Structure 1
Amino acid sequence: MAELVAAAVQMRSGVSPEANIAVMTELVRDAASRGARYVQTPEMTGAIQKDRAGLKRILKTEAEDPVLRAASDLARELGICLHIGSTAIDAGDGMTANRAVVFGPDGGVLGRYDKIHMFDVDLDNGESWRESAVYRPGEVARILDVEGARLGLGICYDIRFPQLFRDLALAGADILSAPAAFTRQTGEAHWHVLQRARAIENGAFLISAAQGGRHEDGRETYGHSLIIDPWGRVIAEADGDEPGVIVATLALDAVKAARAKIPNLRNARQYSVDAGAKGAHGA
């Protein structure tokens, strides 16, 4: 039976990339010491900074980014696959990419993914977010080969768009990912059900490393990093919003077994939607 020991790193990133790199390094080393061959960090590992001017001051291109440089060195040193859930990258033209980068055991880049769906929302508690004002959305979904598994990449708000994860599963992903910086309000309401639903409906493992707690820039995130199996069972969860590491052994044959029991990927049919004539009433 093919198995993969996987870990999710929970952080509370501040505004300093250097300080966040130090925390990331310590937690990734902890994960590797516990046998993890694939380690995922959360969205915005490098910095959580809602002040646009402050974010602009620390932005670097991918080639110059210190978080990615440190991650490459760490992956090579530890001989692991290290998935930086995302970090802010200078995309040019005054825009920023919310970019995930996955490094192989040799420190080389296995692939990258720019977050497709922008978090443009107004919440009941007065929080208002407009990611599209700062970030350039990605246009390409991505699957990578990681330690004998096929990993589909997503980031945070992407989890609310089931068609993305369905497309990744249909294209061969057996592990899905949604590293996140979920707000506390939305996390308390929806985090667990969204994560479990994406795993269940696609018969896939789902790994989501999360940010947690009150951050230096004042925002609050939910934490509760998760690893979920293809039957929707939570097999590892961070305790609340404190930084730390969760580890689980993924029996990759469970993907095939779940999809054989509930073959919804195979049973899907094409259809059209009849919404009726505008303004028409029933007979």
Structure 2
Amino acid sequence: MNPIIAALQMNSGDDVARNLATAARLVGQAAEQGVSLAILPENFAFMGARERDKLAHAEADGAGPIQDALAQAAQRHRIWLVAGTVPLALADDPGRVAAACLVYDASGARAARYDKIHLFDVEVAGSGGAERYRESASIAPGRWNPVVVATPAGRLGLSVCYDLRFPELYRALAEREVDLLSVPAAFTARTGEAHWELLLRARAVENQCHVIAPGQFGGHPGGRSTWGHSMVVGPWGEVLACQAQGDAVVAAEVDRARATELRASFPVLRHRHLGAH
């Protein structure tokens, strides 16, 4: 049987307990649908009015209510769970946190950690200066370390949100023979409308991988608005499942045989010419 994967769409706010309850409910729904690998969006546990508000909820690596809730949900439902980002404290940088994407196996044990590399320090085009973000003020960038973890649905490469605009990360993951790419996100409504689907489908096509992309949707504290449209994209670039708005389990099958056949008959990754240097 083909495994079923899912992007879990949320509208997170500044109430951690409420956000964790929503996440647990969605994980339970995913398990009921036979999902073996579920992915929560970026900032699923907390989205405050200001970037630095997350510092109040930073946890030590391996201990804390957010991490405990994730491990318990994975174990209770016997599901592999990817936690979009969790704010983890940094001993050498107390004024910032790591935006850590954590993976839990079906026993509740942590299987992988990836710290978001590319930080969203931008003024959104077309906003007239009204939308400015500086994640680096509260988040320390992760070091270059492409992370791949073996899951029941296939080899999964980890990334987060703004990473999506940097194809070299995904090519590095593809070189590690991934089957799936995860992109938990909180894309702004304006950038999401313009680029979200376009970039997700491009990453799927150029790396011949399934892409699982859970997003935040709707309005959040501080006036931020996110795009939603969580989706699963197939390795030919086809959108296999998508939901524009609302809390949702966006699920699709991974057709392993078709993906293998595609890579054999259309061997893009073997046809690369990097040139002489």
Equivalent of 1:185, from 184, 190, 196? 190
In 2, the alpha carbon distance for the partners of 1:48 and 1:232 equals: 31
Paired with 1:192 and 1:258, the residues of 2 have a C-alpha distance of 21
Is residue 248 of structure 1 aligned with residue 248 of structure 2?
Answer: no
Q: Structure 1 counterpart of 2:54, which letter?
A: L
State the match for 2:131 in structure 1: 127
CA distance in 1, matches of 2:166, 2:262: 22
Which residue pairs with 2:221 in the alignment? 216
| Aligned match of 1:264 | 268
Does residue 109 of structure 1 match 2:110?
Answer: yes
Q: Which residue of 1 aligns with 2:12?
A: 13
How much has 1:261 moved relative to structure 2?
Answer: 3.0
The question of 1:199 aligning with 2:198 is answered no
- Structure 2: which amino acid aligns with 1:6? I
Any conservation in 2 of the 1:141–1:168 contact (CA below 8 Å)?
Answer: yes
Deviation at 1:53, TM superposition (A): 4.9
Q: Which amino acid aligns with 1:62?
A: D
Corresponding residue number in structure 1 for 2:76: 77
Percent identity over paired residues: 36
Paired AA for residue 209 in structure 2:
A
1:168-179 aligned within 5 A: 168-179=173-184
Q: Say whether the 8 Å CA contact 1:61–1:89 is kept in structure 2.
A: yes
Please give the alpha-carbon distance, in whole angstroms, between the structure 1 residues aligned to 2:169 and 2:189.
Answer: 24
Say if 1:53 and 1:183 are closer, same or farther in 2 by CA, change over 3 A. closer
CA positional deviation for 1:270: 1.8
- The one of 219, 229, 233 equivalent to 2:234 is 229
Q: Residue type of the partner of 1:112?
A: R
Q: Secondary structure at the match of 1:217?
A: helix
When structure 1 is superposed on structure 2, of 210-219 and 108-117 the one drifting more is: 210-219
Moved over 3 A (4+): none
RMSD, matched Cα: 1.4
Q: Which has the larger radius of gyration?
A: 1
Moved more, 255-264 or 138-147: 255-264
Q: Structure 2: any 5+ residue segments left out of the alignment?
A: none
The alignment partner of 1:88 has SS state of strand
8 A contact 1:13–1:44 mirrored in 2: yes
Give the deviation of 1:151 after TM superposition. 0.2
Q: Distance in 1 between matches of 2:162 and 2:262?
A: 26
Q: 1:38 is matched with which residue?
A: 37
Q: Please state how far the C-alpha of 1:251 moved relative to its aligned partner.
A: 1.1
Aligned partner of 1:264: which letter? V
1:203-238 deviations in whole A, cap 9, x for unaligned?
A: 100001110000133210000001011111000101
**Which residue in the other structure is 1:59 paired with?**
58
SS in structure 1 at match of 2:241: strand
Equivalent AA in structure 1 for residue 137 of structure 2: A
Counterpart of 2:113, as a letter, is: R
1:59 is matched by which residue type in structure 2?
A: A
Q: Which runs of 5+ in 1 are unaligned?
A: 274-283
SS in 2 for 1:62: coil
CA distance in 1, matches of 2:222, 2:22: 17
Structure 1 contact 205–227 (Cα < 8 Å) conserved = yes
Cα distance in structure 2, aligned partners of 1:115 and 1:50: 21
Q: Displacement, 1:255?
A: 2.3
Q: What's the CA shift for 1:67? A: 1.6
Query: Displacement of 1:254 after TM fit?
Result: 2.5
The 3 A distance-change label for structure 1 pair 54 and 85 is closer
Could you tell me how far apart the structure 1 residues matched to 2:53 and 2:120 are? 20
Q: How many residues align?
A: 271
